[in-house]
């Protein structure tokens, strides 16, 4: 058994109300490490192909990585995965907070949930013990109430809870799994998968510690971070940082803040949603994740005679994605309404990106005359209406009235409304785009297209990071065949794709290990930390190979579910140039996009025409040695 693991994966069958422990060979841990790679492997191995995402045979997998439970700064995150009810592809999302660390200390390396309970249940895992407990009294409760009741029942305020709110119970296709009430495994509809299993929550508590083989090597990495994070992490300083909210002003000035469903070049009144303004009006305190000194999580509070405009600090506060999705995407300038929208999303268990994008889509459909008040139950979905924004979230979470239609997501609504709606269907693989403009960051657009989960900004690159000398270029140049210098965010050339190939593998590795993407670690830091924890020597090439395995296994899963190279596309709207603003005249041409996509396939050793993994890629990554997989790809 290698360090950082217990050599045990816990399986729970909710139908039969039984559990068992699997003891995988060390090779599984060594090659996959955890997180997304482990999720894709277990789905390929154990789930029948073409399973309906909301059927009992879908597996819901909680997958921390080897770094969880070690107290390495940044390792407070964990992964969750399944087949997505939103996209039909791999669902894979990460959450911060404390749940992953606490689960790892309970004595298991991962949790796999099978079947469907005949009545609402929650799972209670503590120091190697597993209990299934009734949750009928929790069904319908919001997330804060659920966590409070579970802690009271079990008599321990330190218990950590992963759960769904009413949106997951009602199978909203972009429902989230909430952890510690305000940390979401938000994308891909994992909350709906959990709801389909009649599973309300997974509560965890542990006092075990996984073995760290060479603690000194891990401590050296932690000490480096302690000495450097304030200068290398822009939002780390107490007096300056406002979490990712500060990005509103920056991206807005550059034309990178999506506005009016990606149809306008700038959000003119972005200052009304700025981190500076929000902090002045609402800040109560700052929160953090396990073993993290940065404390980037803001906690908002606001009192108001109208309870609909109060902010409860238990739900934290909005990050950049929520401010963009509920704000600029819907043209809502009322920062209190946007912050309240985020609170409702956390209370009900909704992905903020897909929720805001779905509301923005309906606002555009209303403007174009494709919908009217007769269709929407009397609601006029006008751009910028904060009251309608909040009303829509209530309807979506409870699938009431027109909310039942909106709960299906943008792609299904567009198919329902017809060809004109497809022109403003801003999704990839059926998942709504995050709040980053591809017209500003061209390789990011390629990343949206090829990401296994649909449009995603985390398992991706942000071209602006490489536009100037700095830590991003230092990091990637450690693994480049020849060093590269600053490059335009609008370039799609060989140097950019060499950077893209390595940096995307790095991000996938971080989602396997698992470590926060916002940390300024370089490749060698996490290679050293992983080597110290496991006792197995990992080089830079080794950890990047983990990221490639995660992508290749995800690709195999998606191809088995019927996705093809045709699904690796970008909406035409976000490729076409604006006529004004900072990005006027800048487009992503079909020629450049198709070349870049093909070049990525070549670098991955996938088939250049179909994007399918080849026997060469499977053998190079040693995936053919994983037990239980039937791999049939050919060159």
| pLDDT for the residue 230 | 80
**What one-character-per-residue DSSP string does 99-148 give?**
HHHHHHTTT-SEEEEES--SS-EEEEEETTEEEEEE-TTTTT--HHHHHH
Residue 565 has which token pair? 């190279």
**Closest to 365 (Cα-Cα) out of 425, 455, 324, 437:** 425
- Average pLDDT of span 306-330: 96
Rounded Cα gap, residues 435 and 322, in angstroms: 9
- Position of tokens 């994983």? 626
φ, ψ dihedrals at 511, nearest 5° = -85, 0
Secondary-structure breakdown of the chain: helix, strand, coil percentages, each rounded to the nearest 5 = 40, 15, 45
| pLDDT for the residue 237 | 47
**Closest to 234 (Cα-Cα) out of 530, 479, 520:** 520
| pLDDT for the residue 627 | 95
Residue 248 has which token pair? 């509103």
Residue pLDDT, tens place only, 498-530:
999 999 999 999 999 999 999 999 999 999 999
| pLDDT for the residue 79 | 98
Residue pLDDT, tens place only, 224-246:
999 988 887 765 444 445 678 88
Residue pLDDT, tens place only, 456-506:
999 999 999 999 999 999 999 999 999 999 999 999 999 999 999 999 999
Residue pLDDT, tens place only, 612-629:
999 999 999 999 999 999
Rounded Cα gap, residues 397 and 561, in angstroms: 28
What DSSP element (H or E) covers 83?
A: strand 78-83
CB 446 within 8 A of CB 492: yes
Rounded Cα gap, residues 37 and 229, in angstroms: 28
* CATH class of the region 442-518+539-625: mainly alpha
- Position of tokens 């006092």? 207
| pLDDT for the residue 633 | 56
Rounded Cα gap, residues 474 and 483, in angstroms: 9
| CB-CB neighbours of 209 under 10 Å | 11
**What residues contact 404, with CB distance under 8 A and at least 6 apart?**
395
What DSSP element (H or E) covers 20?
A: strand 18-22
Rounded Cα gap, residues 501 and 462, in angstroms: 13
| CB-CB neighbours of 253 under 10 Å | 12
- Average pLDDT of span 548-572: 98
| pLDDT for the residue 295 | 84
Residue 245 has which token pair? 């909210």
* pTM of the shown model: 0.98
| pLDDT for the residue 101 | 97
Q: Which fold has domain 9-205?
A: Aldehyde Ferredoxin Oxidoreductase;  A, domain 1 (3.60.9)
Which residues in the chain are classed under CATH 1.10.569.10?
Answer: 246-425
Rounded Cα gap, residues 115 and 194, in angstroms: 10
**Closest to 84 (Cα-Cα) out of 456, 336, 573:** 456
- The mean of the pLDDT values for the chain is 96
Rounded Cα gap, residues 498 and 492, in angstroms: 10
CB 516 within 8 A of CB 289: yes
Give strand pairing partners of 160.
204
Give strand pairing partners of 184.
178
**Closest to 179 (Cα-Cα) out of 106, 291, 58, 93:** 93
Rounded Cα gap, residues 64 and 70, in angstroms: 12
Omega before 514 within 30 of 0, i.e. cis: yes
Give strand pairing partners of 299.
285
| pLDDT for the residue 296 | 87
Indicate if the pLDDT at residue 97 is higher than 60: yes
**What residues contact 419, with CB distance under 8 A and at least 6 apart?**
none
| CB-CB neighbours of 628 under 10 Å | 11
* Confidence category of residue 396, pLDDT binned at 50, 70, 90: very high
| pLDDT for the residue 487 | 98
**What residues contact 91, with CB distance under 8 A and at least 6 apart?**
53, 80, 81, 82, 83, 84, 85, 187, 188, 189, 190, 193, 453
Rounded Cα gap, residues 547 and 245, in angstroms: 29
| pLDDT for the residue 241 | 52
**What residues contact 231, with CB distance under 8 A and at least 6 apart?**
none
Please state at what angle helix 494-513 crosses helix 523-534, rounded to 10 degrees.
Answer: 30
| pLDDT for the residue 130 | 98
Rounded Cα gap, residues 614 and 620, in angstroms: 10
CB 43 within 8 A of CB 80: no
- Average pLDDT of span 130-141: 98
Q: Positive or negative, the Cα torsion across 412, 393, 457, 110?
A: negative
Which residues in the chain are classed under CATH 1.10.599.10?
Answer: 442-518+539-625
CATH code of 246-425, in short, is 1.10.569.10
- Average pLDDT of span 8-25: 98
Indicate if the pLDDT at residue 632 is higher than 90: no
- Position of tokens 């299934």? 132
Which residues in the chain are classed under CATH 3.60.9.10?
Answer: 9-205
**What residues contact 288, with CB distance under 8 A and at least 6 apart?**
294, 295, 296, 297
CB 184 within 8 A of CB 94: no
């Amino acid at each position: 058994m290698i360090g950082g693991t217990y050599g045990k994966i816990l399986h729970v069958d909710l139908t039969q109300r039984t559990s068992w422990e699997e003891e995988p060979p060390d090779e599984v841990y060594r090659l996959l490490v955890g997180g997304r790679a482990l999720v894709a492997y277990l789905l390929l191995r154990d789930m029948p192909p073409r399973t309906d995402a909301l059927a009992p045979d879908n597996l819901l997998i909680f997958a921390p990585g080897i770094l969880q439970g070690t107290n390495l700064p940044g390792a407070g995150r964990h992964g969750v995965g399944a087949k997505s009810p939103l996209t039909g592809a791999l669902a894979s999302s990460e959450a911060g907070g404390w749940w992953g660390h606490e689960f790892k200390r309970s004595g298991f390396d991962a949790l796999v949930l099978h079947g469907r309970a005949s009545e609402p249940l929650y799972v209670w895992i503590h120091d190697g013990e597993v209990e299934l407990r009734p949750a009928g009294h929790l069904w319908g409760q919001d997330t804060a109430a659920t966590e409070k009741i579970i802690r009271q029942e079990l008599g321990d305020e330190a218990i950590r809870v992963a759960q769904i709110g009413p949106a997951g119970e009602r199978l909203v296709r972009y429902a989230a799994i909430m952890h510690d009430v305000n940390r979401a495994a938000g994308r891909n509809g994992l909350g709906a998968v959990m709801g389909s299993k009649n599973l309300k929550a997974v509560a965890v508590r542990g006092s075990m510690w996984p073995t760290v083989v060479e603690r000194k090597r891990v401590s050296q990495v932690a000490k480096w971070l302690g000495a450097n994070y304030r200068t290398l992490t822009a939002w780390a300083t107490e007096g300056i940082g406002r979490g990712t909210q500060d990005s509103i002003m920056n991206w807005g000035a550059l034309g990178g803040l999506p506005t009016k469903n990606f149809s306008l070049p700038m959000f003119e009144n972005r200052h009304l949603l700025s981190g500076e303004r929000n902090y002045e009006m609402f800040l109560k305190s700052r929160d953090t994740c396990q073993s993290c000194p940065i404390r980037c999580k803001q906690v908002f509070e606001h009192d108001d005679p109208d309870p609909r405009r109060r902010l409860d600090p238990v739900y934290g506060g909005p990050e950049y994605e929520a401010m963009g999705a509920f704000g600029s995407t819907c043209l809502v300038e009322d920062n209190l309404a946007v912050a309240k929208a985020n609170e409702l999303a956390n209370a009900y268990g909704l992905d903020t990106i897909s929720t805001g994008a779905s509301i923005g889509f309906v606002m555009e459909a209303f403007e174009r005359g494709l919908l009217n008040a007769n269709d929407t139950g009397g609601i006029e979905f006008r751009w910028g209406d904060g009251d309608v924004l909040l009303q829509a979230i209530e309807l979506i979470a409870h699938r009431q009235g027109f909310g039942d239609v909106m709960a299906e997501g943008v792609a299904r609504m567009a198919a329902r409304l017809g060809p004109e709606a497809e022109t403003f269907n801003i999704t990839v693989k059926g998942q709504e785009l995050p709040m980053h403009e591809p017209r500003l960051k061209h390789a990011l657009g390629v990343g949206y297209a090829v990401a296994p989960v649909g449009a995603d900004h985390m398992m991706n690159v942000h071209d602006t990071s490489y536009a100037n000398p700095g830590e991003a270029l230092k990091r990637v140049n450690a693994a480049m065949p020849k060093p590269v210098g600053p490059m335009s965010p609008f370039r799609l050339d060989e140097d950019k794709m060499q950077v893209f190939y390595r940096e995307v593998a790095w991000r996938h590795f971080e989602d396997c290990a698992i470590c926060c993407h916002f940390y300024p670690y370089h490749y060698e830091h996490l290679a050293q930390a992983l080597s110290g924890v496991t006792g197995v020597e990992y080089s830079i090439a080794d950890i990047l190979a983990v990221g490639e395995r995660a992508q290749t296994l995800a690709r195999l899963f998606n191809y088995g579910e019927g996705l093809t190279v045709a699904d690796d596309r970008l909406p035409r709207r976000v490729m076409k140039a604006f006529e004004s603003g900072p990005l006027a005249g800048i487009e992503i041409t079909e020629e450049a996009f198709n070349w870049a996509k093909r070049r990525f396939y070549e670098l991955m050793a996938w088939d250049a025409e179909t994007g399918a993994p080849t026997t060469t890629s499977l053998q190079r990554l040693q995936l053919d040695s994983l037990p239980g997989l039937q791999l049939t790809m050919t060159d």
